[in-house]
Amino acid sequence: MQYAIFDMDGLLIDSEPLWMSTQAALLHELYGIAPGTQDLHAWKGVSSRAFCEDMARLHAGRGVEAGTLFEALIARMGRAIVEAPLMPGAVELIDWLRERHVGLAIASSSPLPFIAAVVRRHALPIAVFASGTEVPRSKPHPAVFELAAERLGAQRHQCRVWEDSLNGVIAARAAGMPVVAVPDPAHPGAERFAIADRVHRTLHESLAELNAADPGTPTIKSPNHVQPA
């Protein structure tokens, strides 16, 4: 493996509950719509703009306007996203790959400023980002992964993707990239993740598999990753 591309929300940071609660709150506050958590799971891994466009189409009779909802969602999540904690094993896996000179990128449906803010907040050693807001179609379309590979200077087959959403796994497969799925155990239809090359319960499990194949130098957690109080 020469390059690793990570999703962000739900994979590197535990932000999916925050996204869904914010989406539900805004739909209720602005339009009196009360979606359930299971209803919102279908948009996991989809860009915010695509989510808002889908809500406008599905709830046209309730006056949902995609642009208004999008602006409200981005404003509220822009303040909240940096509070999402890192997922267990994220720092250790990234450090292991970095020590072995694997090129690293984040390919997320979140806007670029969100990705940059999360990287700064947690001092992650990743400098290459691609956002679903930069491409014409979001996951499950492969465009965001193709953009990440281009920015890494990599061929698609040289990249391994880590994803937590089914849309993301489909996108990675469509891009011709090996993909490791780390789905939320509560995700409905978890058996569908079998299309991934690997399915791991946690990022720690990914690290254990990599380390078994290439023990190398023991990974030491950098003090730069200590979360500020």
Summarize pLDDT for 12-24 with one digit per residue, the tens.
999 988 999 999 9
- Looking at residue 43, what is its pLDDT? 85
Q: Which amino acid is at 80?
A: A
pLDDT of 226 strictly over 60: no
Rounded to 10 degrees, the C-alpha dihedral 36/37/40/45 comes to 180
148-159: per-residue pLDDT in tens?
A: 999 999 999 999
CA-closest candidate to residue 16, choices 34, 56, 51, 43: 43
Of residues 128 and 186, the one with the higher pLDDT is: 128
Binned at pLDDT 50, 70 and 90, residue 41 comes out as confident
* Residue located via tokens 């849309």: 167
Of residues 37 and 65, the one with the higher pLDDT is: 65
On whether the CB atoms of residues 122 and 225 are closer than 8 A, the answer is: yes
Share of the chain above pLDDT 90, in %: 79
Under DSSP, the state recorded for 84 is S
Question: What gap in Å lies between CA 23 and CA 30, rounded to an integer?
Answer: 11
Of residues 36 and 55, the one with the higher pLDDT is: 55
Strands 198-199 and 103-108: unpaired
Cα 175 to chain centroid distance, Å, stands at 16
